[in-house]
């Protein structure tokens, strides 16, 4: 397989253009020989016209490709390309003229072959210049593309293409068709020339440069036109090449566009700083509205705000004052102003009545920047810009100008917009940070909740002589209720239920301490009252002064069918005796743990042993159940629980528990939450 090398359009069209130009030169020279020798060369004039048209198309192809390729749409570069081509063409023209005049009256000067050669060189250069410049103008015209402009340009290109062939019809003699077409193309070119939207985007300096380049182009066009059409010397040319409609129309177009661009650029010079200013403002606004990333500092936004405000108002100096709690000493940032001057002006501001009225505005949302006149050796006018977040002023920016009444309405408008936007960015930043922090707390609480759940036993120790179940619910994520079991030996089991004062996280911590104390002390085989005394002394060292824990402990001996019980300030336990068919609260004194933190506690704890029979039941619970309130503020109370057990004592522990909890929820009301931790443990002897 022969692999064709990739076709390089630029190089190909350049090569073709050169070949066509040489062919054109050759054909015309041959014809010249014919004319001089009065011989019929046999080459039809159409042949020249075809070559001419081909040359136009090749040059067009080359420039179209090369301009598109180097599409640095930098306007100055484009105009410079046009200008440099113009300089080059003019230079060659001048050299040819100089060469001709240096020949003087010699025979060579009159040589028609040399004339024809120069004529072709000049024609080639003119074509290159007009086509390349026209294509550069195309880029400028289509800078802000709209469908209409693109259509117009396409129409103009088609018209220009047609104009290349007009010569075949009028056979080189300009007639009405020629002039009519020229006028039409001229109008089209003029209409296109109204598209000068690229000019405002030039900076002040760029405008000056483009004026220079445009002047060069205009000069080149003028020189080339003058040289080609006006100062016509009597040279014998076999065929008129540069009189082509295509070249003439293009000349008109590039001239009109260059002149218009020159004038518009010139008249845009004085206002260009305003346009630049607006552009900077738009960019600043965009920078301010970009939300701050969580890890970034809000001071950066305030920095941008300061810069934006200063440039919008052409301020000579400025400072920023923060009055928020984060900066108790008052955070300040100074720009082009020293501390002493700032303090002097601050003093002036504070004693100004307008400012005092302004600062006492009830609704800070409505605050807008105000201007002030001050008497200070350096600055004569001030602008106060409030920074408002969440309906409170958290700071202000003071802009200073050396001139009197230096702030106009437009500046005030744009600055208050800047300030509002910056405040929104700061506020969003703060909210986002807060949200992230909250999220983390939520995560921590979830972990706490999981850890705490694991502190409550999943398996409750018991043997075949009794059944047991338990339930616990925390009002918050974590709670202070505690229950546990422990197997002393085959016949002896310990049950404990406890309640830490308060609720929430602090209660949860103390609850875990209680678990540790129970699990370690109970292994010492203590009696219930000894356990309470030891637990009290242990807790005395780690509980906060205003916290205490209540607990009830039971040691069940299934061999002897006895229960030994001690109570430390905990709500009494309900005991159902099947033989009496009666439920009653176990009456026993006892002081909460952590209330008396000395040996005195021993006097306040007692223990009691009683027997049980098969079918008897124990219900241990915490005060969350007793104190749960309905919408009438009535408490669930001890009596309801007692009645429930009397009714349902036949059921299994799990069923009894469900009955009590369901009844509790029904009492409180379906949607209402019980705002305390509550737990219960039900034991039934078999």
Partner 1 sequence: MLTIETLQENGHDILFLKGEVDASNSVILDEAITKLVTAGSSSILVDGTGLEYISSAGLGVFMSYLEDFQEKEIDLKIYSLSDRVFEVFKILGLDQLMQIYPDKKTALLA
Residues interacting with partner 1, by CB under 8 A? 499-504, 545-548, 550, 568-572, 589-592, 595-597, 604, 623, 627, 633, 635, 676
Shortest Cβ 564–partner 1 spacing (Å): 19
Of 458 and 598, which CB lies nearer to partner 1 in the complex structure?
A: 598
DSSP lists the bridge partners of residue 486 as: 494
- Minimum gap (Å) between residue 489 Cβ and partner 1: 31
- The CA–CA distances, whole Å, from 317 to 281, 320, 401, 633 equal 18, 11, 7, 65
What token pair was written down for 217?
A: 């182009």
Report the distance separating Cα 247 and Cα 83, nearest Å. Answer: 18
Nearest residue (CB) to partner 1, 288 versus 574:
574
Toward partner 1, which CB reaches closer, 568 or 618?
568
Is the CB of 519 or the CB of 634 nearer to partner 1? 634
Residue 281 CB-half CA count within 13 A: 22
- Smallest gap from Cβ 295 to partner 1, in A, equals 36
**Cα→Cα distances 319→350, 357, 395, 400, 485, Å:** 15, 21, 11, 9, 69
Taking the alpha carbons of 579, 580, 586, 587 in that order, is the dihedral positive or negative?
A: negative
SS3 of 496, please? strand
**In angstroms, what CA-CA distances link 314 with 271, 318, 373?**
16, 11, 17
Judged by beta carbon, residue 51 or residue 507, the one nearer partner 1 is: 507
CA distances from 439 to 4, 173, 311, 443 (A): 65, 88, 40, 6
CA separation for the pair 497, 106 (Å, rounded): 132
Nearer to partner 1, 174 or 572 (CB): 572
Supply the minimum distance, in Å, between the C-beta of residue 592 and partner 1: 5
Our CB check for partner 1 shows the closer of 200 and 637 to be 637
Contact between 136 and 255 (Cβ < 8 Å): no
Helices (H), 544-617: none
In the complex, least distance from residue 521 CB atom to partner 1, rounded to whole angstroms: 20
Please give the Cα distance from 41 to 316 (Å, whole number).
82
Nearer to partner 1, 287 or 597 (CB): 597
CA distance linking residue 303 with residue 333, whole number of Å = 9
Tokens of residue 501, six digits: 């004062």
Minimal distance, residue 533 CB to partner 1, in Å: 14
| Strand, helix or coil for residue 592 | coil
| Two structure tokens written together for 121 | 């060189």
Residue 509 beta carbon to partner 1: minimum distance, rounded to whole angstroms: 15
Q: How far is the CB of 441 from partner 1 (least distance, A)?
A: 19
Please, what is the minimum distance in Å from the beta carbon of residue 554 to partner 1? 17
* DSSP conformational letter for 342: H
Query: CB-wise, 120 or 503, nearer to partner 1?
Result: 503
CB 321 within 8 A of CB 387: no
Alpha-carbon distance of 549 to 554, in angstroms, equals: 17
CB of 293 to partner 1, least distance (A): 38
Q: Could you tell me the smallest distance in angstroms from the CB atom of residue 600 to partner 1?
A: 9
Residue closer to partner 1 (CB basis): 479 or 653: 479
Q: How far is CA 257 from CA 137, 215, 264, in A?
A: 8, 12, 10
Cβ 544 to partner 1 shortest distance, Å = 9
Q: Please choose, from the candidates 274, 260, 374, 389, the residue with its C-alpha nearest in 3D space to the C-alpha of residue 323.
A: 389
How, if at all, do strands 317-322 and 492-500 pair? unpaired
* Gap between the Cα atoms of 127 and 247, Å rounded: 7
For the chain, what's the residue count? 686
Would you say 322 or 568 has its CB closer to partner 1?
568
Residue whose CB is less far from partner 1, 601 or 685: 601
- Shortest gap between Cβ of 522 and partner 1 (angstroms)? 22
Is the CB of residue 513 less than 8 Å from the CB of residue 542?
A: yes
Decide whether 211 or 500 has the Cβ nearer to partner 1. Answer: 500
Residue 420 vs 604, nearer CB to partner 1: 604
Indicate the Cα dihedral angle 552, 558, 559, 564, nearest 10°: 10
- The distance of closest approach from Cβ of residue 551 to partner 1 in the complex, given in angstroms and rounded to an integer, is 11
Name 429's Cβ contacts closer than 8 Å, sequence gap at least 6. Answer: 291, 292, 294, 296, 298, 301
Cβ neighbours of 71 (radius 10 Å): 10
Q: Work out how close the CB of 335 gets to partner 1 at its nearest, in angstroms, rounded to a whole number.
A: 47
Cβ-based nearer residue to partner 1, 81 or 503: 503
Radius of gyration of the chain (CA): 50
3-state secondary structure of 318: strand
d(CA 170, CA 178): 7
Interatomic CA distance for residues 172 and 245, integer angstroms: 10
What is the nearest approach in angstroms of partner 1 to the Cβ of residue 610?
20
Using the minimum distance from each CB to partner 1, give the nearer residue, 256 or 538: 538
């Amino acid at each position: 397989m022969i692999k064709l090398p990739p076709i390089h359009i630029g190089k190909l069209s350049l090569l073709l253009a050169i070949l066509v130009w040489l062919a054109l030169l050759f054909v015309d020279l041959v014809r010249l020989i014919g004319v001089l020798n009065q011989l019929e060369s046999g080459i039809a004039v159409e042949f020249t016209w075809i070559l001419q048209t081909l040359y136009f198309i090749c040059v067009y192809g080359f420039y179209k490709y090369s301009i598109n390729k180097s599409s640095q749409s930098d306007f100055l570069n484009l105009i410079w390309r046009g200008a440099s081509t113009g300089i080059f063409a003019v230079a060659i023209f001048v050299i040819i003229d100089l060469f001709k005049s240096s020949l003087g009256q010699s025979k060579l000067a009159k040589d028609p072959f040399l004339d024809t050669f120069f004529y072709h060189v000049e024609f080639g250069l003119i074509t290159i210049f007009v086509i390349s410049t026209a294509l550069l103008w195309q880029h400028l015209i289509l800078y802000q593309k709209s469908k209409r402009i693109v259509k117009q340009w396409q129409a103009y290109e088609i018209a220009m293409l047609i104009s290349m062939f007009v010569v075949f019809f009028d056979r080189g003699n300009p007639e009405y068709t020629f002039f009519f077409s020229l006028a039409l193309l001229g109008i089209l070119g003029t209409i296109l020339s109204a598209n000068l939207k690229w000019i405002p985007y030039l900076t002040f300096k760029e405008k000056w440069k483009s004026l220079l380049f445009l002047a060069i182009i205009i000069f080149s066009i003028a020189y080339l036109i003058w040289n080609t059409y006006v100062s016509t010397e009597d040279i014998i040319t076999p065929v008129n090449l540069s009189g082509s409609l295509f070249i003439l129309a293009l000349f008109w177009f590039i001239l009109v566009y260059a002149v218009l661009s020159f004038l518009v650029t010139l008249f845009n010079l004085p206002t260009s700083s305003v346009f630049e200013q607006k552009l900077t403002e738009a960019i600043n606004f965009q920078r301010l509205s970009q939300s701050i990333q969580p890890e970034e500092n809000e001071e950066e936004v305030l920095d941008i705000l300061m810069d934006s405000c200063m440039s919008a108002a052409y301020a000579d100096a400025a400072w920023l004052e923060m009055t928020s709690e984060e900066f108790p000493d008052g955070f300040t940032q100074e720009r082009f102003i020293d501390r002493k001057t700032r303090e002097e002006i601050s003093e002036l501001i504070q004693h100004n009545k307008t400012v005092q009225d302004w600062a006492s505005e009830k609704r800070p949302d409505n605050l807008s920047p105000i201007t002030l006149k001050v008497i200070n050796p350096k600055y004569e006018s001030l602008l106060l810009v409030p920074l408002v977040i969440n309906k409170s002023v958290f700071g202000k920016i003071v802009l200073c100008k050396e001139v009197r009444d230096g702030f106009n309405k437009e500046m005030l408008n744009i600055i208050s917009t800047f300030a509002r936007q910056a405040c929104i960015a700061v506020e969003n930043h703060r909210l986002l940070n807060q949200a992230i922090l909250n999220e983390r707390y939520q995560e921590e609480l979830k972990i706490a909740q999981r850890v705490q759940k694991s502190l409550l036993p999943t398996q409750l120790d018991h043997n075949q002589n009794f059944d047991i179940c338990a339930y616990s619910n925390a009002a918050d994520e974590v709670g202070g209720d505690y229950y546990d079991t422990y197997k002393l030996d085959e016949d002896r089991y310990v049950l404990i239920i406890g309640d830490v004062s308060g609720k929430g996280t602090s209660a949860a911590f103390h609850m875990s301490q209680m678990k540790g104390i129970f699990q370690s002390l109970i292994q010492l085989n203590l009696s219930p009252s000894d356990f309470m005394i030891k637990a009290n002394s242990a807790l005395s060292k780690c509980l906060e002064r205003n916290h205490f824990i209540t607990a009830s402990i039971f040691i069940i001996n299934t061999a002897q069918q006895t229960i030994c019980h001690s109570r430390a300030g905990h709500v009494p336990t309900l005991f159902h005796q099947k033989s009496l068919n009666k439920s009653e609260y176990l009456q026993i004194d006892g002081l909460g743990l952590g209330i008396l933190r000395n040996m005195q506690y021993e006097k306040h704890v007692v223990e009691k042993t009683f027997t049980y029979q098969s079918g008897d039941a124990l219900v241990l619970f915490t005060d969350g159940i007793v104190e749960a309130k309905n919408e009438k503020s009535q408490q669930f109370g001890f009596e309801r629980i007692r009645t429930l057990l009397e009714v349902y004592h036949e059921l299994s522990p799990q069923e009894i528990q469900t009955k009590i909890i369901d009844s509790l929820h029904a009492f409180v009301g379906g949607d209402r939450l019980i705002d305390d931790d509550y737990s219960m443990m039900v034991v039934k002897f078999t």
